[in-house]
């Protein structure tokens, strides 16, 4: 305990402990790998097999995107429980990072399957199999196909001198490699996400208002990773080959683990080594006081609103990405901007605005006028509601001028509003959760916070598909009205929420 307290008092930039920088850097590269994957996920699934993609329909791709991202944010609840009760936070970070790196390498695997099969049977190449899938007119990435599709594949394989057995092996190995990689990334993300965030909270005692600013710095590092991952992996995937993008994401995760292992003892001491609850999680719940249960009610209410915010925000990697790819003129000085790069406008806005927001919150805090986290969440809902109102107008312009494309600057403005909303929502809500949660269950409740985002992103897939049934303009308009109403309701209910925190939040 003495060592932990000594480490917690080590200064960093602006007076923050060094360990905050270490875990923020680790999270930066973890987010590089994750957002790199998200940047090319839908584009890879919908790309034709002649371009190395899986040839899925947009609706199927958006559904899988929503389900996957939802599961990625739901996993931290279990990961937090494991960290609190069995492995400790530090071990979860290491194991989670290794699984994420292995998962991304598996995602790059489908490009190697023809070569591997060719080593043990008739020599084949990736080009030969692309021609086979194209001629057979079958999408990749499914475990099995219909009898008619297998017949089509048999005919196409015979014409190219490839045995049906070899074709089946490559097809199924491709599916196993891809979905096995997704599973590894899901498990690894579930272990690493809540534990890194929980370690940040251990550096601050109750009532230390630097916690909010520290989480702001933490999220700024996270978004730097998002920018780099989206830019690097997105560029490699779109321009050089999807497997190069996936491999780069694996490299980012391995880099983060290298730095983490190098400096963990010096900067973290004993923090996160021993499980906090050590199997006593249920008993801890039974011992909670009435004020603690009231604070949990606030966490649940704020979590519900955060889930709905996430359902709107994470359309950026699904429906909005396809909207950008299809309906925007992305020309700039004779060069076409990659679709994935425009998402970075939101991320870059967050990184630029976060230091300004930290300075503003600190100034207002000294004057006793710093808005509470529930108020900031209400503002975030109103801002992203305004963004979707603008999107509804843009969709209407596309519909009324069929065949024309909009300037990418319009979408940049939308993503700036997304970035403003993020500054108001993400760091303040996770800091609020860490303040209100019982200390012995900190990682579990932070994992639960990520679960709320998972629920929102799971909704993203289903909401996004409505764009192909309702139409883009009606969907964007309905989302805008819903978000604006929720923001107003959240603002109105803020006094009641603050009363339930029993003085923890002003």
**Across 29-38, 109-118, 181-190, 232-241, which has the greatest mean pLDDT?**
181-190
Q: What is the pLDDT of residues 329-385, one digit of tens each?
A: 888 887 888 777 887 888 788 878 888 888 898 888 888 888 999 999 999 999 999
Helix ranges, 83-112 (H)? 89-107
Return the closest-CA partner of residue 7 out of 233, 288, 199. Answer: 199
Q: Between the ranges 11-20, 100-109, 427-436, 469-478, where is the mean pLDDT highest?
A: 469-478
Q: Is the pLDDT of residue 7 over 50?
A: no
Q: Where do the DSSP E strands lie in 333-459?
A: 335-336, 406-407
Measured distance CA(17)–CA(23) in Å, rounded:
11
Q: What is the pLDDT of residues 198-234, one digit of tens each?
A: 787 777 666 666 666 777 777 777 778 888 888 888 8
- DSSP-assigned letter for residue 49: G
Q: At what angle do helices 164-202 and 147-159 cross, to 10 degrees?
A: 110
Buried b / exposed e over 164-197, threshold 16 CB at 10 Å, is eebbbbbbebbbebbbbbbebbbbbbbbbbbbbb
Domain ranges within the chain, ordered by starting residue: 12-500
Which of the residue ranges 154-158, 275-279, 431-435 would you say has the lowest mean pLDDT? Answer: 275-279
Question: Which backbone phi and psi does 328 adopt, to 5 degrees?
Answer: -110, 140
Banded pLDDT at 11 (limits 50, 70, 90): very low
More confident residue, 220 or 299: 299
Model pLDDT, residue 36: 84
Looking at every residue in the chain, the average pLDDT score rounds to: 81
The 8-class DSSP code of residue 328 comes to E
Average pLDDT over residues 1-13: 46
The model's pLDDT over 414-445, given as tens digits with 9 standing for 90+, comes to 999 999 999 999 888 888 888 888 877 776 78
CATH class of the domain comprising 12-500: mainly alpha
User: Are the C-beta atoms of residues 188 and 98 closer than 8 Å to each other?
Assistant: yes
Q: How confident is the model at residue 473 (pLDDT cuts 50, 70, 90)?
A: very high
Model confidence band, residue 8 (pLDDT cutoffs 50, 70, 90): very low
β-bridge partners, 86: none
Q: How far is CA 193 from the centre of its chain?
A: 10
pLDDT on residue 276: 62
């Amino acid at each position: 305990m003495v060592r932990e307290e000594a480490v917690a008092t080590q200064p960093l930039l602006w007076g923050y402990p060094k360990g905050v920088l270490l875990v923020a850097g680790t999270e930066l590269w973890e987010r590089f790998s994750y957002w790199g994957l998200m940047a090319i996920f839908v584009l890879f699934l919908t790309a034709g097999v002649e371009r190395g993609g899986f040839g899925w329909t947009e609706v199927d791709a958006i559904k899988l995107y929503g389900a996957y991202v939802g599961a990625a944010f739901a996993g931290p609840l279990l990961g937090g429980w494991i960290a609190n009760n069995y492995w400790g936070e530090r071990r979860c970070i290491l194991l989670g990072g290794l699984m994420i790196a292995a998962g991304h390498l598996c995602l790059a695997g489908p490009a190697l399957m023809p070569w591997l099969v060719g080593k043990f049977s008739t020599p084949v190449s990736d080009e030969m199999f692309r021609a086979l899938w194209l001629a057979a007119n079958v999408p990749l990435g499914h475990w099995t196909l219909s009898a008619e599709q297998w017949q089509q594949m048999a005919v196409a394989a015979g014409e190219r001198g490839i045995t049906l057995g070899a074709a089946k092996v490559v097809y199924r190995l491709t599916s196993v490699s891809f979905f096995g990689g997704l599973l590894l990334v899901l498990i690894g993300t579930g272990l690493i996400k809540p534990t890194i965030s929980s370690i940040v909270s251990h550096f601050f005692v109750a009532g230390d208002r630097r916690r909010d600013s520290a989480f702001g710095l933490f999220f700024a590092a996270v978004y730097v990773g998002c920018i780099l991952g989206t830019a690097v992996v997105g560029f490699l995937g779109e321009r050089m080959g999807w497997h190069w993008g996936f491999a780069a994401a694996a490299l980012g995760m391995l880099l983060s683990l290298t730095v983490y292992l190098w400096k963990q003892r010096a900067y973290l001491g004993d923090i996160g080594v021993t499980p906090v609850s050590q199997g006593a999680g249920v008993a801890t719940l039974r011992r909670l006081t009435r004020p603690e249960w009231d604070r949990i009610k606030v966490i649940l209410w704020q979590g519900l609103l955060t889930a709905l915010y996430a359902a709107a925000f994470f359309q950026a990697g699904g429906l909005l990405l396809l909207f950008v790819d299809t309906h925007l003129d992305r020309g700039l000085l004779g060069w076409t901007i990659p679709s994935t790069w425009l998402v970075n406008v939101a991320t870059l806005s967050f990184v630029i605005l976060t230091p300004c927001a930290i300075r503003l919150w600190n100034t207002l805090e000294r004057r006793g006028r710093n808005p509470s986290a529930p108020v900031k969440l209400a503002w975030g809902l109103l801002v992203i509601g305004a963004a979707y109102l603008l999107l509804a107008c843009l969709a209407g312009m596309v519909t009324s001028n069929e065949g024309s494309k909009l300037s990418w600057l319009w979408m940049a403005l939308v993503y700036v509003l997304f970035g403003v909303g993020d500054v108001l929502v993400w760091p303040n809500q996770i800091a609020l959760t860490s303040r209100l949660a019982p200390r012995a269950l900190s990682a579990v409740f932070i994992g639960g916070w990520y679960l709320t985002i998972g629920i929102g992103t799971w909704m993203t897939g289903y909401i996004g598909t409505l764009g192909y049934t309702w139409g883009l303009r009606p969907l964007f308009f309905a989302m805008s009205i819903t978000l604006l109403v929720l923001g107003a309701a959240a603002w109105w209910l803020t006094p009641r929420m603050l009363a339930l925190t029993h003085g923890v939040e002003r």
